[in-house]
Structure 1
Amino acid sequence: MGGGGADPVRELLAEHRELCERATHPWEIAAVLEEAGLGSAAARRYRHADVFSLAEELYARVPRKPADDEPPPGTPAVAGPRPPQRASGWRHRCWARGALLGALLLPLVTVLGAAAGRPGPAAGSAGSSGPSQVGTAAALVLAAWAACGAADRAARWVRHAGQVQLRTVGTLAQFRARMRPVLPVALGLHLAVLALTSFTALAVLTAIAPRPGPAAGGLLQAVIHRAGPTQWVAQASLGLLIAVAAALRRCGRQSVALAGLLTADGLGAGLSAVRSCGLLPAGWAAAPGALTALATGTAAVVLLPYAWVALGRPQAHR
């Protein structure tokens, strides 16, 4: 690629014309060129000092295509493609809401599955406080649901931060450097809100239906110990998954976000079914929150690296 003709950029422009027409900022073009392996040395063959200045020329040479919902004047409206797009969007939203609901219900579903499993020593010990465990799981579900609004606001903030950086910083390297802490901060804020809603829900449950036995340490200690360590880990991993999926959805990666939620739903349901058949070790599998932590934690671990890379690109914040 490149050449020594009178206009060495023309060949590159022809190769990436569609990208240049759709781009809303030169950085989108620069990011794609870098992903294609075009670095500073290659940019010099096109008579530019770096990839960013080359992308600026490509961006300046090509007129922007109008948005899909704003046809050029004089172009007859095409009614055919629009209804399928709306229908597809409606179906996708239904799938997304169903997948989110399935993930939110995992703490309750896995506890109910353990109570309905085959009796045994471990099952008996875990089920000895069955109603209490079900109530705790239901409170955690309500807390996670209440924190979903915070996850969406954090996701909106991630996208807004990206759009602000697009307008203010001068290079692609600066953009990426400034966006690195944005996702971790958003996830941390959501987990803090989730911790607050979880503590509040468990406090209300403890006040309404205290556990049998002497109450030592007051309400604070009773609330902390209402859910076991595994359940707190499961709640954190569920919140992490929901926040990452929300950020990906707000930044144009709806299909990846949906896939992550469906993965957690499928893993949770599958592990519960396998446990009901007695095919999982009774010790850790019977602990409340263990299967939720495994299912949501696995999906979150897969989504996080992708989100870290994808949300650091200008294209995610158009």
Structure 2
Amino acid sequence: MTIDSAEPDAPAAPGHRSEPDRTTTGRRGAADPVKALLHRHRELCARAVDPLEIAAGLEAHGVTDRTAARLRHRDVFSLAEEMYARAAHDGEEGPRAEAGARTGPRPWWAVLALAPGVLGAAVVAGLRLTDGQARPAVAAFGALALVPVLHLAFRRGPLSTRHRTTAPARAWTCWLLAYALAGDGLLSAARDGVPHGPWPLATAPVLALLLACAPAAWCAHLFAARARRRLTASRGLEEFAAAVRPLLFGALGLFAAALCGLLALCGTALDQPPAYAGAGALGLLLLLARLLTARGFPHVPGRVLTAAGAAEALALTSVLAARLPGCSFLAVPVDRLAAAAGPGAVPALACGAGALVLLVQAARTLTRASAHAPPCEAS
């Protein structure tokens, strides 16, 4: 029987330092999944101001509470807290301070949001105080001035889209507003057989929509601020979504109430029908599209705005095309709809259907934590 020269458990000789086991070290490093996740999202952790932004960014990259449980954490928020602490230990405070400086409040958006309504009221007053050839000049000036004013009003603040809107979406938005101004009058004239102008302009609903820019921005700010607080108090993604969903519906309800009040006020002041259905649906459609685009979801709003505008254009074109010989059948659907509910049923149906689609999309996407992260973390 042979005896081994050295036992496995024999202590090392004095003064001899055993070399580290590279295999064990490698396995230990590989067994630290949080470290691997931290390395994969090092830019996110470097720019985050607090753990909540890391949690939102992780959700945007597909990390869920179930994933966090596999990493021995109760939820994504707990995982984000460890990643934030470990990133801070590695010396990442410099970029965080810069990120915090970039996300500071900009109070001017509240003042700028009033500009479209003020300009719209001035243009409407000019139209009512002038006649003859001066009225088209005032209308043209107002239309040209509203474009830069609206752009300036929503360049900063809670409805800022950060250049995510596309040219077709902007064009169809302008068409929807133009139809709200003159579409019902043109449709009624075309159905009566006299499609050549001038057509009556619905200035009251359009003025109410311009005045509603301020409550829209305020409701969006209120929703974002309350959602941020819920992000601090929540301890799971599902808990956060359940808490934010009523905030979203509450903000939309507040805006709808404010818009209805403005429609009633403008209709009474200008002695015109307030068009609650058509203008109300359009206002909700535009607000939902702006909210989704500002939070990084521009694709569905762009398509819905295109579909709503195309539906209005198709309805108007079908009535005009019905005047051609043998084409009277083209106007039958629009004629029946207008005879049953008036010409305002066309924009109410088109914009209402679009607003419903965007409401479902908003309930799915704006209740995510990643929707309330800064752009650099949510992208």
TM-score interval, normalised by the smaller of the two chains: 0.5 to 0.7
Paired-residue identity, %: 36
Cα distance in structure 1, aligned partners of 2:355 and 2:282? 8
Deviation (angstroms), 1:284: 0.5
- 1:10 is matched with which residue? 35
Gaps of 5+ in 1: 72-87, 118-122, 207-222
The answer on whether the counterparts of 2:166 and 2:302 sit within 8 Å (CA) in structure 1 is: no
Deviates more, 1:307-316 or 1:6-15: 6-15
Superposition deviation, residue 105 in structure 1 = 2.7
Name the SS of the counterpart of 2:200 in structure 1. helix
Corresponding residue to 2:76 among 45, 51, 62: 51
Structure 2 gaps, min length 5: 1-26, 103-160, 323-329, 374-379
Distance 1:29 1:276, change over 3 A: farther
Structure 1 residue 308, shift from structure 2 partner: 1.8
Deviation by residue 1:82-136 (Cα, 9 ceiling, x = unmatched):
xxxxxx967959877655443323223321331453xxxxx23x98xx99x935x
Matched, 1:233 2:312: no
Residue 337 of structure 2 is aligned to residue 284 of structure 1: yes
TM-score (structure 2 length as normaliser): 0.58
RMSD across aligned C-alpha pairs, in angstroms? 4.0
1:163 is the counterpart of 2:225: no
**Given the alignment, which residue of 134, 137, 142 partners 2:200?**
134
CA positional deviation for 1:154: 1.0
Inter-partner Cα distance in structure 2 for 1:40 and 1:283: 52
- Distance, in Å, in 2 between the alignment partners of 1:250 and 1:37 is 21
- 1:89 and 1:50 mapped to 2: Cα distance? 31
Residue 156 (structure 1) shift: 1.6
Q: Secondary structure at the match of 1:312?
A: coil
**1:151 counterpart residue number:** 216
Conserved in 2, the CA contact under 8 Å of 1:234 and 1:290? yes
Cα distance change on mapping 1:263 and 1:24 into 2, 3 Å: farther
1:33 and 1:205, CA in 2 relative to 1: closer, same or farther beyond 3 A? Answer: closer
Amino acid at match of 2:312: G
Encode CA deviations 1:162-191: one digit per residue, 9 max, x unaligned: 223334445444433321111111111111
Q: What TM-score, normalized to structure 1? A: 0.67
Which residue pairs with 1:211 in the alignment?
Answer: none
What's the counterpart of residue 313 of structure 2? 269
Q: Which residue does 2:180 correspond to in 1? A: 107
Corresponding residue SS for 2:270 = helix
The separation in 1 between residues aligned to 2:173 and 2:62, in whole angstroms, is 37
The number of equivalent residue pairs is: 270
Aligned residues of 2:56 and 2:371 also touching (Cα < 8 A)? no
